[in-house]
Amino acid sequence: MFCPKCGSLLMPKQEGAKKILVCSCGYTSKNVGSMKISEKLQESKRVHVTDKILDKDDYETLPKMDAECPKCGHNKAFYWLLQTRAGDEPETKFLKCEKCKHVWRDYS
């Protein structure tokens, strides 16, 4: 459900024996009627930014470039770009060695 005043998501809140819907703008829904309100919280898992692509062996489909691996010295690496900072800052280039699978970042 969304707030009719500002369009934000309404959040359930316990008021006495019943639950109501409230918004951060101050709007409160008093007429919940027969609508069932339930909350389900998921345990958050911190995911390392490189895990998004490296969990699966999908990196074989990524483009390759000439880059020297700092670990083994091999001259070819797969690469991809991710926006890891604010939108007005440049993307971060991640590289993965074709030979030893070492992952590193290139900030240039």
Q: Could you tell me the two tokens for 92?
A: 């971060």
Catalytic site residue 88?
yes
Which amino acid, residue 50?
T
Catalytic residue among 51, 58, 89, 98: 89
Q: Alpha carbon of 69 to those of 76, 84, 86: distances in Å?
A: 8, 22, 28
DSSP per-residue string spanning 12-59: EEEETTEEEEE-TTS-EE---TT--------------TTHHHHTTTGG
Catalytic residue among 15, 88, 91, 98: 88
Which residues belong to the active site? 88-89
